[in-house]
Structure 1
Amino acid sequence: MTDSTSNGPQQPQPPAEIDPEQLRQFQEFQRFQDYQRFQQAREGHAPLALPPGDTGPASQPPAVQPPIQTVYVKPAPKPMWQIILGSKLVRWLVMLLILALLGGYAYNRWFGGDDPGDIAVDSGGNKGNVIAPTNAYGLQGTVGIFYKHVSQGSDSRACNLFADDGRARQKFATAFSAPDCQAAIRSLHDQVSNVSDYEQVYFADTMLKEPLTNTTTVSSCKDLTVVGGPRLGKFVLTKQSGSGAWIITDYEAEPAGCPAVDSGGNKGNVIAPVNAYGLQGTVGTFYKHVSQGSSAQACALFTGDGRAKQKFAAAFSAPDCEAAVTALHGQVTNVSDYEQPLFPDRMLKEPTTSVTEVSSCKDLTVSGGPRLGKFVLSYQDNKTWLISDYAAETAAC
């Protein structure tokens, strides 16, 4: 009789009657179970007895881990600019600099100081001349800027336009019985009756282009039309090397009541247009001056003999041309309409003859103010058109 007690684990027994194929599968199943037990023993379970004759898989020696080494890397030093910007002292200094710049700007902005646009130191070696323009003629030229400074009473800026040797500056002061240039400017400023008109002097057509030489002369009598204040005399301008700025290097006094003479020999006319017709022509410009009350500029469009100008004044029962323009200006009800009279299509082209007529009744469409009569225009040697004769027309034409 077989003892049922055994020291090893129980093995499944094959059935009593089994065919060879079933026996083979049963034996493979037993071997699979034995292998599972062997694997469990390797993973930490108690070792199990192997079947007789089975040595199991070959054991491998445990892997030896290399020792862990700690490597310390020294950080790279910071760039000097990072160290400087990271300093609290530097940040405070930068903040104080910004506050100082803002404070200086605010002071100059609200409490005076020179206009930044005027500060352009001349590189031609003339001290004090920090606002000399690079043009001789025109409103942005040296003489035009000089009149502007007088109109605004900017005595220092006006006198800085003279050369540093002081001779021209002293001549200017003497011409107006002043102890120095600044005093003369202040005295002349008090004589300005209309700032906007006075600071926009009109230059002769010959001065539309800058001079080709390094020295030029601008006469307040012969070259300029000045309205709203006193004429300032004759200026000699010299172009500076390097900077290209024009400064006043000499000066000559002129009579206070001098007539302005244009290059065509017609006194008073330095702003005569080069066109007869249209808004930019002589008659169109005349209407514009009446609309703005610019009596001197309007009357300067007549020829110098004075006959046409007197006919115009008599047509409106005025003692002279300026008084007539002033009275007509008072009758203007719409300036923008009045200063833009409409010309007929046939006057789109300029006349082919040297004399032409423009009738306010027959040729023009005028709105916003009174019609001004018939103008006879003559072409001058300097290629401008002047009013050489005049005829009154009925108001209700």
Structure 2
Amino acid sequence: MNAGLAAAALVLWAFADWTWWVLLPLFVASVLSRVVFSLFFSAWQEWAGSVVLVAVILFLTTWSSGWALWIAVGVALLGVAWGLRLVSPKWLRWVALGLGLVLALTGSTVEFVTWANGRAERERQDQLAHDFAVAKMRPDSGVGMFWGLVRAVSSNDPKVGCWYFTPEATQQFADVVGAPDCPAAFHKLHGQITDKRAYVNAQIPFEDSHYPKDGEPAWASGCNLQVTTGILESGPPGGPMLGVIRLDKDPRFNGAGGYLITSYTPCGTLPPGVVPKAPERPLLPSYPPSYAAMVASRVARSDESVCLYMTDRGQAEFAAAWGASDCAGAVRVLAGKVADADRYRQPQDAKEGTKDADGRLVIDACRLTWYRWGDKAGTPPPGPQLGYITVSRPDPAEVGWMIDGWRLCS
């Protein structure tokens, strides 16, 4: 019997994580029980060991689960069955053996399932914590995302670049670039760089990064990459443009962490879920002659947003002046006539002229000059003269002007 009780105590000790300090009360209890039984209960002295073991078992149950107690009791019954193998009727031995097996196996099964489920949950929580740590490292804006993509292309590092994409977006990216997979796509884009020093610093304009708004997902466009060349000045990136991306956060983290690219489409195509909206009217210039530099700068990079600064009549006359069907087409026609985009975007000497018959102000952009430090005398202009730009105020209460007419230089 004592062997069974000792085995039960060991089982409970194991479920108590083998806490060594419980041996101290075990030793003290053993000594005290021997003293007490020898002094006062000498007839029961042979039961001293059993009493100590029972006390230890009761103490260890406070450190263990109920199912561990089932196992301990089952083990104890198996010890009892073994001790009674020669001195008891067979049926009693078999009852103790069967009950011990049932309790030990049932408790062991439940404890194992509990342990396995706990282990799986701990692994899930560990993976979740790892994924969240990774998510916090991702960019939190479209500008930041393209900053990372550009550097991955510049350094020819697909391992970092592909890390920004979901598996579905990875394949979309490869298809748009015309490569078999994501790493090959980054290698191909790296081979298209013409100016490595410039391209590594290329960025998208802030207005090309769109945060979530009115149910629309976050998205950004890498179709207008540019490099800062001076104060409020930018130039070509020295390498390939990138496409349009949709950005989403991991729903497991309730909006925390950074973005992941969930869709990649070519320029001119919006990602799924992104609904095109009518562009809002920009802040209008309050100094009319500044339109010459603004139009030249946007034409130099084929930026069709210049049309947002024109009334319907202004767009129609601008298109007719340059032989195009619409304003965007006129921008492309005019951009095709520019020989040096970097110089063309900084004209001087636009003049405020007289008013026309309708009382609109006319800007003389037919005598523009382009001068840059180091230019030699007689350097040809980088592109055509713009023409006569007619402007008007859409709202008399506002100070801003819109382009309301256009005609070529006579």
Verify same fold: TM over 0.5.
no
| Structure whose residues are more often helix by fraction | 2
Normalised to the residue count of structure 1, the TM-score between the two structures is 0.42
Instruction: Tell me which structure has the larger Cα radius of gyration.
Output: 1
